[in-house]
Amino acid sequence: MRVLITGMTGFVGRHLVALLASEGVQVHGTLLPGAGEIAPPGTHGHEVDITDTPAMARLMAEVAPDAIVHLAAAASVGQSFSDPDGTWHVNVEGTRGVLEGMRMSVPEARMVMALSGEEYGRVPLDQLPVTEHTPLNPVSPYAKSKVAADHLCEHYHREHGLAVIRLRAFNQVGPGQDLRFVLPSICKQIADAEMDGDVVCALELGNIDTRRDFLDVRDVVGAYSLLLRKGDPARTYLAGTGHSHAIRDLIDIAVSLARVPVQVTSDPSRVREGEQPDLYASPRALQDLGWAPRIPLEQSIRDTLDYWRDRAHMEVD
């Protein structure tokens, strides 16, 4: 089996590459032109702008993938407010480029599209957990771009017969996630404080009582692999655990694993206005295929903290 992954060097991409390679899959992937990205060992990287439809069609004709996983995206909710046009261009026009390339060159292939639980936006708490039937109500430029990409995928399946399978994943955590997200930010600050021999690690965060459905990225890439083989394009799949944790819970676990005392301050100025207080998903459609999250939150946090400890040691060495 030959799979093309857009965004193969990103947080999710690297974990998916590792899983598919372990399954004997031949992995190709896109690299951002001029960014100096390097394809993981044993894979084939291709520099291409995913918003360039003719270039995507040429790449797909060259690679002739049996399946595609579209991960490449502008992924930060916070940054989407400062760059809504850039977020839209990458997430919507990039998705259009991938779909058109697929339609023109490999219409018989299967594709799994990386979407987001953020598409649901504000949901009445008495209507949780969300399901594939919960109305979409995006409240950020990022979420709006993902809803548009979602609709594009549905359109290409309905109008062109492409086997495009949509996965709305909720809050992913794990080693390798970048510092725009809350857990790696916490873990890096703790790891740096340990390395520097600080008396105390001072963490300044936003609303630590916000609750979200956190699941390990390695469980999510397991869902991608499963959907490549068994996913039904007529269904929408949700990757979640079925329950939520407060940011405070993540902090408590990280603090329990820290080797220095940790002092936490909640900064009200960092709280996003109108933020949904709680959000979690029913993964029933994935469960019907035999999927279930297997990695507990504590292990995800431990592995993330160890990742940043290793980085701190490398910087010293």
- Per-residue pLDDT at 207: 87
pLDDT (average), residues 167-192: 96
CB 42 within 8 A of CB 18: no
pLDDT band at 315 (very low <50, low <70, confident <90, very high): confident
pLDDT band at 314 (very low <50, low <70, confident <90, very high): confident
- Mean pLDDT in the chain? 95
pLDDT (average), residues 254-270: 87
Would the pLDDT of 271 be above 80?
Answer: no
How many CA atoms are closer than 13 Å to the CA of 86, on its beta-carbon side? 10
Q: Which CATH number applies to 182-211+243-279+295-316? A: 3.90.25.10
- CA-CA distance, 284 to 261, in Å (whole number)? 40
Q: What digits encode the pLDDT tens for the residues 229-241?
A: 999 999 999 999 9
| 2-173+214-239 and 182-211+243-279+295-316 in the same fold | no
Question: How far is the CA of 285 from the CAs of 7, 105, 157, 234, in angstroms?
Answer: 26, 30, 19, 11
Topology of domain 2-173+214-239, per CATH?
A: Rossmann fold (3.40.50)
Report the percent of the chain where pLDDT is more than 90: 93
Question: How far is the CA of 201 from the CAs of 44, 189, 195, 256, 273, in angstroms?
Answer: 42, 7, 11, 13, 28
- Per-residue pLDDT at 128: 98
* Residue ranges covered by each domain of the chain: 2-173+214-239, 182-211+243-279+295-316
Would the pLDDT of 138 be above 70?
Answer: yes
Would the pLDDT of 288 be above 90?
Answer: yes
